[in-house]
Structure 1
Amino acid sequence: MKVLITAGGSGIGYAMGQAFSEAGAQVWVTDLDISSVPASWRASKVDASDEAGMASLFTEVDSEWGGLDVLCANAGIAGPTAAVEDVALADWKTCVSVNLEGAFLAAKYATPLMKRQGSGAMVLTSSTAGIYGYPNRAPYSAAKWGIIGLMKTLAMELGPHGIRANAICPGAVEGPRMEGVLEREAGAKGMTRDQVYEGYAKGTSMRSFVEARDVANMAVFLGSDGARLVSGQVIAVDGHTENPDPKV
């Protein structure tokens, strides 16, 4: 199995790389920082929202691998935390570009490789913010909703070619990126970081944050033959989010 993961240099993408590698797959990751990528993986420094860079990447993947079995379109940024009237258009565009256009470009250039072989699986990383919406996170939420619309369309359009598409919606994932979100939300809401953290945990029926490996395990399943008829699905890995506006 040949797997390409965007934003695989850290966080969820890195955990996906580890999980696929342990499952016996060949792994190729992209990121802006690939310094921590194991020597056993292929790695390319590429901005997921740069079309020329992405086109070149997939040409290289095709040249070296001759095809692609699984695409994990995982690149994303948190974007601003602010009331909608305070969001700068430039910040909106940057967030949507990386999160949504990055997924579109990955799918666009993976499609010809998968069509040629008559098979493939695309796993797009959305978010629970793409299911419920989220106060003070308009650009991020809009982009993550867009990913679900993109995925649904890919599943319908590419299914006749043997290609599946699904979206994973992680909840609050432990790690540096989430720490930044906690700090920003604490400032915006006049709360402490720990109060916001507790609010997120209480907002799930399982009273827990998610670990990156939980999301990675779902990606491996969706890329496997065990999910051969799973397509067009929005799958939350979030401990069952009950409350999309965390508060104590």
Structure 2
Amino acid sequence: MTCRVLVTAGASGVGRAMAEAFDAAGYDVWITDIDRAALDGVPDHWTAHHADVSDEGDMHAVFAAISDAGGLDSLCANAGIAGPTSAIEDIDLKDWRGCVAVNLDGAFLAAKYAAPMMKSAGAGSIILTSSTAGQYGYPFRAPYAAAKWAVIGLMKTLAMELGPHGVRANAICPGAVEGPRMEGVLAREAATKGMSRDEVYQGYASGTSMGRFVEAQDIANMAVFLASGAARLVSGQVIAVDGHTVNPDPKL
């Protein structure tokens, strides 16, 4: 029987890499994304929904469709945004709430609707995308770091609550990931810190023992492993895929 996975924010970036990796592993792939143009570019055999992960109505509709299709084996609650890059005193409450809504509320809503299906099946894997910012914090990224720390707390709770029902929960903490989203972060941090883009880039890279950024495929490979039978007793874990962060902000 084919397994079914849902990847939120699955039309581009890390989410797209996850969806492609699960597809290659033989899963029936479902994705959500808020970017209609990106959704237009996904393979025809994926089931794609335009949805805002922080909108409960949107998420209820997605999971109702999944339930009608036979349920869910794996969830990758991956949607996230960088949020503002500013000193704490310069962050507007609206921007704080917007960042937390996508990064934390989105993970909560996905888990809320996935849990009953998985409990009923007596099995399942919930994978939340956190960040190394959720392990160490990060200056000038308060909303993002706070939300990603909270994602880890959510995951730990899910692992305890759902484990007796055969459902596992884990969090992946990507480091700096090559791609357009990180380029935006680099540009904003360069402006905030009075540095060049390349200086900020090297600061991130030199803060890891392996001296480099990771790629979306590295995150996707971990997600497929965590969903697989090879990880059948891996639950409640925070797994960094980051080249081993040794100094989260060496340039400050």
TM-score (norm 2): 0.97
Is 1:137–2:137 an aligned residue pair? no
Letter in 2 for 1:4: L
Structure 2 partner of 1:60: 65
Letter in 2 for 1:122: I
Percent of paired sites with the same residue: 70
Is 1:222–2:226 an aligned residue pair? yes
Structure 2 partner of 1:46: 51
Number of aligned pairs? Answer: 247
Structure 2 partner of 1:121: 125
Letter in 2 for 1:63: D
Structure 1 partner of 2:7: 5
Structure 1 partner of 2:29: 27
CA distance in 2, matches of 1:44, 1:179: 27
Q: Is the 8 A contact 1:196 1:246 kept in 2?
A: no
Letter in 2 for 1:26: D
Q: Is the 8 A contact 1:126 1:145 kept in 2?
A: yes
The runs of at least 4 consecutive aligned structure 1 residues that moved more than 2 Å come to none
1:246 CA displacement: 3.9
Matches within 5 A, 1:200-215: 200-215=204-219
Matches within 5 A, 1:138-217: 138-217=142-221
Letter in 1 for 2:119: K
Instruction: Choose which of 235, 240, 248 in structure 2 pairs with 1:236.
Output: 240
1:247 CA displacement: 1.6
Q: Is the 8 A contact 1:172 1:209 kept in 2?
A: yes
CA distance in 2, matches of 1:55, 1:136: 34
What is the DSSP-based 3-state SS (H/G/I as helix, E as strand, rest coil) of the residue aligned with 1:169? Answer: strand
CA distance in 2, matches of 1:18, 1:246: 34
Q: Is the 8 A contact 1:9 1:29 kept in 2?
A: yes
> Structure 1: which 5+ runs fail to align?
none
What is the DSSP-based 3-state SS (H/G/I as helix, E as strand, rest coil) of the residue aligned with 1:122? Answer: strand
Q: Is the 8 A contact 1:128 1:238 kept in 2?
A: yes
Matches within 5 A, 1:53-92: 53-64=58-69, 66-92=70-96
CA distance in 2, matches of 1:14, 1:161: 29
What is the DSSP-based 3-state SS (H/G/I as helix, E as strand, rest coil) of the residue aligned with 1:54? Answer: helix
Deviation track 1:44-94 (CA, whole Å, cap 9, x = no partner) reads 000000001101110011102x11000000000000000111110000000
Letter in 2 for 1:116: S
Letter in 1 for 2:249: D
TM-score (norm 1): 0.99
1:7 CA displacement: 0.3
CA distance in 1, matches of 2:249, 2:91: 18
> Structure 2: which 5+ runs fail to align?
none
